[in-house]
Structure 1
């Protein structure tokens, strides 16, 4: 009887741990919500991206196109972020930061393991750019 209770507990703990690990490792959902060529800046466009993190969600370390200037604003929850070798910073809903061409984004993740987080990123980028997030090499 004791062995079966211990075995049941072990299986439950393993399943719970696996589910939590899968949930925590989920990638951010990235959706382009607006795109428009800038009429007064030939060759440049504004592209706006909604980034949604589930609880414990994250993005891999990445960069952006060499032409990209980015303004990011947290809409919901809190985002842990690190740009270049700067400090890891937690931005809460209503707070923002910017990234300039060539910046490396080594940390980008939901600060919570229980609540979702969302941010809006506004890119000013060369019109021909189609890939806005590039894995860091």
Structure 2
């Protein structure tokens, strides 16, 4: 399956993943000032693409929270949607972008995510990252190597 087909598939399943994410979110974490909380909220093997799965990952940032610079498994295509607040993001050394609730961005296999942070020091932010990835991939967030 090529990247574009994987992206189209992840778009089609995004609504279902977002519903699961909304149910799985605890209000206790929304106001927490910890840097971030990452939870797999949905996963399913793709029946028409042997060896591939779709995984929904909810990332929650407290006010001022951030994640360290990271990459993802080499097989991962990611489609992320901001659910609440605003997220600062920088991929592959490009410009730092701010994405607000309802906006989205993609990451391709091998991309480096240098900045991933809540854009606000006063309100929480959440995003849903939908991965199309090798089923065997267990660690979805990897430090720079």
**What TM-score results when the alignment is normalised by the length of structure 2?**
0.77
Find the counterpart in structure 2 of residue 37 from structure 1: 45
Alpha-carbon offset, residue 27 of structure 1: 2.3
CA positional deviation for 1:93: 0.3
Match of 1:7 in 2: none
The unaligned stretches of length 5 or more in structure 1 are 1-22
User: How far apart are 1:86 and its partner, in Å?
Assistant: 1.2
Match of 1:99 in 2: 107
C-alpha distance in structure 1 between counterparts of 2:144 and 2:65, whole Å? 18
**Alpha-carbon RMSD:** 0.7
CA distance in 2, matches of 1:133, 1:85: 18
Q: How does 1:1-137 map to 2 (within 5 A)?
A: 23=33, 26-137=34-145
TM-score normalised by L of structure 1: 0.81
Question: Can you list the C-alpha shifts for 1:15-60, whole angstroms capped at 9, x where unaligned?
Answer: xxxxxxxx5xx32100000000000000000000000000000000
Gaps of 5+ in 2: 1-32
In our comparison, the structure showing a higher alpha carbon Rg is 1
State how many pairs are aligned.
Answer: 113
User: Matched residues in 1 for 2:102 and 2:129: separation?
Assistant: 13
